[in-house]
Amino acid sequence: MRRLALWLMAVLMALLPVGASAQNVADPALRAKADALVAILDGRGAYDAYFAASFREKVPKAQFATIAETLKATLGAPQKIETLTATSAWSADLTVGYARGTASVRLVIDPAAPHAATGLLITGTAPRDDSLAKLEAEFRALPGASGFGLYALGNGKPEPILEYRADVAAPLGSAFKLWVLAELARQVAADERHWADVVKVGAPSLPSGVLQTWPAGSPATVQTLATMMISISDNTATDTLLTTLGRAKVDAMAEAGAGSVPVMTTREMFALKGDPALMKAWIAGSVDERRALLVDNAVKIATTKLDPTVFAGKPVAIDSVEWFASPSAMAGLLDRLRGADATTRAVLAVNAGVDPAIAKRFGYVGFKGGGEPGVLSLNYLVQAKDGRWYAATGNWHRADDAVNEVRFAGLMGRALALLAAR
């Protein structure tokens, strides 16, 4: 599973020339460079010619392209520089107009010709004339299958604000780890376990994560494992926790929230997808037969060498060898986590998983995403600054091709921005 932590990255690396900060009139070269930024942000400009070598060393072209595509996915195509406020002859604060919003940008250029850009800082984004109807239309236009739900959370069941295929179960990828976190929180609340309990790290899985590189049997608290499982989607931490808590109890948590069972470990998932015979038996089996399959092949799965190229960039059995739940079910799970203790919510909030400019509009943002080739799932628990709670959960999957992470992250970012504006 890959960590999905897609948000805008910004870099500012420029030293203003002595005395320049006292000037408030932009040099004509700065205005020309600002106008040329629109093409750069649209992916049409000459990156190497636009930016100085010092900037390119810190922000390679591929990394900048990801930033630019994230902006476009969220705001549409860049159109023009709407405002330019000079902070010196060679630096300015810009408002870049996009089809669906604006981006605030600080630009610094070299005073010497050819006036290459030495600094660029994206300080925030804002939607323009966005709506729930427009958001739903774009979800419906995604190739393959998708679903999402926005919910107000209160004393009863999550109250739908907007739903699309919200009762249809979909593959979750690493978002299934929310079941593990919820079961851990339940055991802590029941005094069956404590956050400071120390356990030994179990059999290594494949990345994402880092624990697969640790010495076998390294001690770690369950809070450390939970934090790594949620914030960096550590697969080995997940498997260790799931095994420690007990599969039957994690299954019960998943079933209570209309999730699929049995809940595989990540190692089991990789092993099944890498073994045609095991995968065939899993697909054909009932729930009880699948449970027996995992038990009967436990030694084989625990000792087999996992193939890191099992996906080879293509979807593999995403409609069968996966974890499944609907958007409405995930909203209920997020609501359950909202009612857990402060440590659970703190673990969920380590990685906000959204543009910081959007995250700052909330008092709290908890997040867990999941993905593999052909599968994306993003799930947010947020609290508005007026105290109201919401859940935003969405999925997109297709068996014939990969899905565009940037495009989907942009849609979910817009959903959160609309919630923040309520």
Q: What percent of the chain has pLDDT over 90?
A: 82
**10 pLDDT exceeds 90?**
no
At residue 14, does pLDDT exceed 80? no
Q: Which tokens in the block code for residue 351? A: 């990685």
Helix, strand, or coil here: 51? strand
Q: Counting Cβ atoms within 10 Å, is residue 28 exposed (0-12), middle (13-18) or buried (19+)?
A: exposed
pLDDT of residue 125: 77
DSSP state of 13: -
* pLDDT band of 124, cuts 50, 70, 90: confident
Kindly report the number of other CB atoms within 10 A of residue 250's CB atom: 24
Q: What is the pLDDT of residues 100-116, one digit of tens each?
A: 889 889 999 999 999 99
Lowest-confidence region among 5-9, 285-289, 339-343: 5-9
The residues, any chain, with a CB within 8 Å of residue 70's CB and separated by 6 or more, are 6, 7, 8, 355, 406, 409, 410
What's the pLDDT score for residue 342? 98
Residue 24 above 80 pLDDT?
Answer: no
User: At a CB cut-off of 8 Å and minimum separation 6, what does 52 contact?
Assistant: 110, 116, 117, 118
Write phi, then psi, for 326 (nearest 5 degrees): -90, 165
**Closest to 80 (Cα-Cα) out of 114, 128, 118:** 128
pLDDT tens column, 42-55: 999 999 999 999 99
Q: Is 198 strand, coil or helix?
A: strand
Q: For residue 99, what pLDDT is reported?
A: 92
pLDDT at residue 23 is higher than 80:
no
Say if residues 164 and 331 touch (Cβ distance below 8 Å).
no
The token pair at 360 is 């700052």
pLDDT-derived band at 377 (thresholds 50, 70, 90) equals: very high
What's the confidence (pLDDT) of residue 19?
Answer: 34
Please tell me whether residue 269 adopts helix, strand or coil conformation.
Answer: helix
Q: Residue 92 pairs with which residues in a beta bridge?
A: 86, 107
Whether the predicted pLDDT of 131 surpasses 80: yes
pLDDT exceeds cutoff 70 at 255: yes
pLDDT tens digit sequence for 215-237: 999 999 999 999 999 999 999 99
Confidence of residue 360 (pLDDT cuts 50, 70, 90): confident
User: Which letter does DSSP use for residue 353 in this model?
Assistant: -
Average pLDDT across the chain, whole number: 92
- Residue 20 pLDDT > 80, yes or no? no
Token code pair at residue 44: 């049409």
Residue 264 has pLDDT above 80, yes or no: yes
**Residue 356 binned pLDDT confidence (cut-offs 50, 70, 90):** confident
Distance (Å, rounded) from C-alpha 379 to C-alpha 176? 11
Q: How far is CA 412 from CA 73, 74, 222, 320, in A?
A: 10, 9, 30, 25
